[in-house]
Amino acid sequence: MKVMVETSAHHVHVTKETLEALFGKGATLTNKKNLSQPGQFACVEKVTVVGPKSEMKMSILGPERSADQVEISLTDARKLGIAAPVRESGDIAGTPGCKLVGPEGEVEIECGVIAAKRHIHLDPKTAEEFGLKDKQLVSVKVGENTGRATTFGDVVIRVNANYAPAMHIDTDESNAAGLGGTVDGEIIA
């Protein structure tokens, strides 16, 4: 079972209210580049994420969300001074917050900073073909020709009709396996 493996760099998801606080009333997100997941896109708009130790400029991913979320690698977390837990996207209860700074204002988010758990997006048809179920944990082998072949464990399967098949890992994980760009991975159920 092969799956496309993509590196997901640090990024921010914002609500409509946060977007307007950061960029001004009536602000909208500007699509810079479509992403592999249908309807998802990298935005022209960037914000500064401020932690206790430092700050980093990050892209916003669209469209707007129902909750603010900052996805960073564990290296980013150390740099910022934020104890970001490894969580599935959207599972932000009890996570640390930070300050977001835009050109028109700033917002303190109470929670939402995470290191995203590595995961595979699958549509129901592909999940059925692979014999995989939502929330199932699998391993994925990558980097056979990099000299740093790696098998990632604890990869969560996420099944939704709006997904396109793709695995997402963060920059720390990608660098550890010596991956350059998008690569194929082999799912080991």
41 domain residue, yes or no: yes
pLDDT band at 65 (very low <50, low <70, confident <90, very high): very high
Clarify whether residues 67 and 132 are in a common domain: no
Clarify whether residues 40 and 98 are in a common domain: yes
Q: Report the pLDDT value the prediction gives residue 120, as an integer from 0 to 100.
A: 98
Clarify whether residues 30 and 71 are in a common domain: yes
Decide if pLDDT at 145 tops 90. Answer: no
Clarify whether residues 88 and 149 are in a common domain: no
pLDDT band at 8 (very low <50, low <70, confident <90, very high): very high
Question: Residue with structure tokens 């599972």?
Answer: 91
Q: Report the pLDDT value the prediction gives residue 147, as an integer from 0 to 100.
A: 84
5 domain residue, yes or no: no
Among 98, 116, 134, identify where a domain stops: 116
Decide if pLDDT at 79 tops 90. Answer: yes
User: CB count, 10 Å around CB of 149?
Assistant: 12
Q: Report the pLDDT value the prediction gives residue 143, as an integer from 0 to 100.
A: 86
pLDDT band at 5 (very low <50, low <70, confident <90, very high): very high
- Paired sense of beta strands 119-122 and 150-159, if any: parallel
Q: Report the pLDDT value the prediction gives residue 180, as an integer from 0 to 100.
A: 83
pLDDT band at 144 (very low <50, low <70, confident <90, very high): confident
160 domain residue, yes or no: yes
| Structural domain harbouring 61 | 10-116
Clarify whether residues 100 and 67 are in a common domain: yes
Report the predicted TM-score, pTM, of the whole model to 2 decimal places. 0.94
Sign of CA dihedral 15, 102, 85, 43: positive
Q: pLDDT tens for residues 11-58?
A: 999 999 999 999 999 999 999 999 999 999 999 999 999 999 999 999
Q: pLDDT tens for residues 148-174?
A: 899 999 999 999 999 999 999 999 999
SS3 32: strand
In sequence order, which residues have a C-beta less than 8 Å from that of residue 120 and are 6 or more positions away? 3, 138, 140, 155, 156, 157, 158, 165, 166, 167, 168, 187
H/E segment holding residue 33: strand 31-34
Encoded tokens for 53: 């130790």
Clarify whether residues 63 and 92 are in a common domain: yes
Q: What is the mean pLDDT of the chain?
A: 96
Between CA 81 and CA 65 the distance in angstroms is 25
Q: Which of 140, 148, 134, 128 is nearest to 169 (CA)?
A: 140
Decide if pLDDT at 189 tops 80. Answer: no
Q: Which of 100, 99, 104, 135 is nearest to 120 (CA)?
A: 135
Clarify whether residues 109 and 178 are in a common domain: no
Residue 104 is given by DSSP the state S
Among 116, 140, 162, identify where a domain stops: 116
